[in-house]
């Protein structure tokens, strides 16, 4: 899963760090550190964090979501 955080938009509310601490961490008062290649096991928490971001600065790569869904369909067939 690939993540992109618009660090110009991020205001340091830290909702992401609270909801997905294995992926996001605050550095100082306003600096955000994150893993742009988060583990698939963290998907639910990352999606919660993206939805909770007050300024919608977190984007989850939709291509990865579509590829995962297609793989799931292929595995079921």
Tens of pLDDT, residue by residue over 46-56, are 999 999 999 99
Residue 76: which H helix or E strand, with range? helix 62-76
The pLDDT score that the predictor gives to residue 68 is 56
Q: How confident is the model at residue 10 (pLDDT cuts 50, 70, 90)?
A: very high
> Using 50, 70 and 90 to split pLDDT, how confident is the model at 33?
very high
Confidence of residue 67 (pLDDT cuts 50, 70, 90): low
Radius of gyration of the chain (CA): 13
| Predicted local confidence at residue 29, as pLDDT | 76
């Amino acid at each position: 899963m690939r993540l992109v955080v618009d660090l110009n938009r991020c205001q340091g509310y830290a909702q992401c760090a609270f909801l997905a601490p294995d992926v996001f961490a605050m550095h100082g008062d306003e600096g955000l550190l994150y893993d742009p290649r988060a583990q698939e096991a963290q998907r639910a928490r990352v999606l919660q964090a993206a939805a909770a971001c007050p300024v919608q600065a977190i984007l989850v790569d939709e291509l990865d979501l579509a590829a995962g869904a297609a793989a799931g369909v292929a595995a079921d067939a």
